[in-house]
Amino acid sequence: MVNRKIYTIDSEYMGRNLESVLKAGLRDATTLLLVFRTQIASHLDCFQLLVNLEPWFLFERRDLRWPGTQVFPSQKTEENHRAISQRYYQFNPSVAEMLVNQQRCIWDWLQPDWPEDLCLLRPDGTPWFVSIVHEKDAYLKLGDSEYDTLSPKLCTDLLSCEGPDPDPSEIYPVNSRENM
């Protein structure tokens, strides 16, 4: 298991510069995770994004846990379980460009306009980038070698190390077979 640290991203920077984080993620992340709350009617732009992402669609999953979020046990009902849809996509330069062209500010990725809690996963299913948009929280889970490959400006000016990853075994499916 790789020892990783949590690096929070400056909230003001993250609000304006989703593109730089997505481009950095192309080196280590292979899967995009978007969360939809099915009880919220989405706007046309959100549906159009889904249509545009369709060539890279991997699978859909319904779960009450995703990177950065765990629904409280008291809220774990069948209705809530059905209300959360996690959609997984291949992450590549075309997908990154499409996301940035849709909305440059991560904090605007909220339903009904856009899907929520955009996350990037490594090939082994561990989170690389996590956003919890309702809380205006975004962070990277990086090993030392991953941190060393990021641009110096991103590292020194905009990241703050919060310490060791409190959940190093956190892993999510990255293909439909793992989802079964």
Q: Could you report the per-residue pLDDT of 110-150, keeping only the tens digit for each?
A: 887 888 899 999 999 999 999 998 888 999 999 998 988 88
176 is a domain residue: no
Segments of 41-158 assigned E as strands: 57-61, 65-66, 69-70, 84-90, 116-121, 127-132, 137-142
Confidence tier at 176 by pLDDT (50, 70, 90): low
What pLDDT score was predicted for residue 105?
79
Instruction: Report whether pLDDT(82) > 80.
Output: no
133 is a domain residue: yes
H/E element, 50: helix 44-53
The 3 state secondary structure assigned to 78-128 is HHHHHHEEEEEEECCHHHHHHHHHHCCCHHHCCCCCCCEEEEEECCCCCEE
The answer to whether 110 and 29 have CB atoms below 8 angstroms apart is: no
Q: What is the pLDDT of residues 35-73, one digit of tens each?
A: 987 777 677 787 888 899 999 999 999 887 788 877 765
What number is the average pLDDT over the span 25-41? 87
Quick one: how far is CA 5 from the chain centroid? 17
169 is a domain residue: no
178 is a domain residue: no
What number is the average pLDDT over the span 93-121? 87
Q: What is the pLDDT of residues 145-173, one digit of tens each?
A: 898 888 776 666 678 889 999 999 999 98
147 is a domain residue: yes
149 is a domain residue: yes
What's the total number of domains in the chain? Answer: 1
Residue type, 49: L
22 is a domain residue: yes
| Cβ partners under 8 Å of residue 139, min gap 6 | 6, 7, 8, 9, 68, 129, 130, 162
Q: Give me the residues paired with residue 159 across strands.
A: 9
Q: Give me the residues paired with residue 5 across strands.
A: 142, 164
Confidence tier at 75 by pLDDT (50, 70, 90): low
Q: Give the span between the Cα atoms of 158 and 10, in whole angstroms.
A: 5
Range of the domain at 38: 5-65+76-164
Confidence tier at 175 by pLDDT (50, 70, 90): confident
137 is a domain residue: yes
